[in-house]
A and B are shown apart, each in its own frame.
Chain A
Amino acid sequence: MKKKILSVILASAMVVSLAACGSTPETTPAASTDATTETAADESATDTAAADTEEAAPAQTGDLSYTTLNLDDYKDFSASIKYIHHKTDREEDGTMAAMIAEFNKEFPNITVTTEAVTDYAEDSLLRLTTGDWGDIMHIPAVDKSDLATYFMPLDTLDNLSQSLNFVSSWSYDGVCYGIPYMANAQGLLYNKKVFADAGITTLPKTADEFLDDLQLIKDNTDAIPLYTNYAAGWTMGAWDAYVGIVSNGDDTYMNQKLVHTAEPFADPGDGSGAYNVYRILYDACARGLIEDDYTTTDWEGCKGMLNRGEIGTMVLGSWAFAQMQEAGDTPENVGYMPFPITVGGVQYVAAGGDYNYGINANASDENKTAALIFVKWMTEKSDWCYNEGGYTVVKGGKNPDMYAAFDGCTVMSDQDALPGEADFLNQMNAESELSINAGGNDKVQKIVEAGATGSQDFASIMDEWNQKWADAQEELGIEVLY
């Protein structure tokens, strides 16, 4: 009997130790990548002093820059380059091969081999540090200060931003190292047929117009005017995306000003600001314009419901658009419109680049030139961004139909945090527990509860948030400037 007990103890001990093994890898990737980036940075620093000169004077790098490169001059250029990317679906369905074939019609002597990497975010980082990955890749999450070590400067930020959108995300010290292959814009999803049936002829531009339209949907159709997706949680956090550019037209607000703002949730009185973003939700709940039982919403089910016209509107980013279209038989009814808030007569749209093309800093000059030709062709001539349903990267380029309603809106993307303040927003989010754009789902859920049950009025919720924000600023010693 004693032996039995002992063996059971031993066996369970082994299970415990196994379980412990299972949990360790979670922490290691971050640590190991950190370590590897460091060593790689050291190597390349000794390897090439070239990286330094590139950083100092990008325009001199063989006089290669995105804006000055004229595609027509390089029709006979010959080289062989390799492109690694994350779009495994497009690699498999032949879209990528078709685009390369199209490219080779104009540049017959440039051979492009492509490779789609599953689990891109991690694998690409590992490959990047080995140095032997090819000539073009979608830039993974590297530190901006390391950009010059790995990637060729494409142009100055000033030059590029004249012709392209969203190029600032991989720029450092005024030099751009990446160009997004496509971009996403934040608006909200609606069903066109429901809107037509409800008698809505023009899309709402303000919070009050939107709420009136929701009422029309409720009165005139059987559809749920606004589906909150309360139960899934993270879908509620999506409301945070409209704080900043969309609600006040200021692209420095989210990453620079918010942390220094006193009472960011106060009512500005003109129908703008974060106050009115969340007020839409509160009022919709208070007026019964949401689903009957918000606690049992079903994320997978809602896609088909929007497609079929059982839901009028849903507040989610543009990435959700394609999923809603695929979820049913009437994709033509799925629409996308700017968030209904107008600031000083203008509707603003927050948009940002997806993965960026980056060119290997350690490739031969020949390959660098060919890679830049390829990137420029992909950006300007391939229509890839358009076909993926992305917001145009080229200024004045054509947008997919889903963005038709965005004409006339001002599109912006958030600027980076000021130097030395990069961590402020994270700290404030954690300390205040509001976690704006960082998983603060429960605070938005509470708005739904308060609105639907009438347990608390909206102004007092916003007062609470302001108080939390102020307390956090005091606790962290962050200066109040605005």
Chain B
Amino acid sequence: MNLIVPDHGKAEISRQHSAATSRPPIVIAPSRGWRDGFTLAAADIAETVRLWPLVWTLSFFDIRLRYRGSLLGPFWLTLSTAIMVASIGFLYAKLFHQDVSAYLPFLAISLVLWNFINTITSEGATCLTQSEGMIRSMRMPHSLHAARVVMRNVLVLGHNLIVIVVVFAIFRTTPNISAFSLIPACLLWAVDGFAVCLLLGIFGARFRDIPPIIGSIMQIAFYMTPIMWSPTMLMHRGFAIALVKLNPFFSLLEIVRGPLLNMPLEPEAWTTALAYSAVLLLLTTIAFIRARSRIPYWV
């Protein structure tokens, strides 16, 4: 009565293309203690690194999908940023009594970088809930969804860089020697971006009102952080400058913006940025160890 009879003679034919034959068996069990939890969390991230081609393709498809059928495609990103920088730039240079040739490059970098931070936080908060379909249909590393958001926004950032390059060319702004510090700065941004997405993604999956809260916090942060205005405008006001120096967004912006705008290396900004990053990484690690196995139940 059973029509499907095992036939060991033919076993090899169908196994030819099996990609995972050599992998050791997977044992899934509740973690015992923090050390075990840490190993599992680290394995999750290692798996994401292994699946890097998938992360890249997912992000690439995300961008392509967003602009499918449009004439300019992803260069709408470039165009809208360019228009925004140009229109705000000339208006605010007048309002703040600033020299356009100094203000516009500053504004271009600040807006592009802030755009990156802002989308990372808002998309990060929904990165797990948005991937519900994938999470519940196959076993895949959860950190992959955070990596996808970061990668996608790096691609967006890439398109916006054109605006910065053009503005710099027009106003002949040249970065100085301290620009080499951009390499560790970008690395720090990537790590922080990934950690923020994972942390907010976990909280966003567990508490559904996190995403709108993040939205309003970022709105306030936009005005509190020197993005449209430069901290030099506050030179004569002692209190405000202290407020700026403790702002985590300011320190992160400054380590990238400073060298590009031909300013000396700022050890103070670096210290603050590294300190905030360390706290962020610690929080993310704890949250991920505790929540990793519960994520499929939450989304």
B partners with A:
no
Report which A residues bind B (CB closer than 8 A).
Answer: none
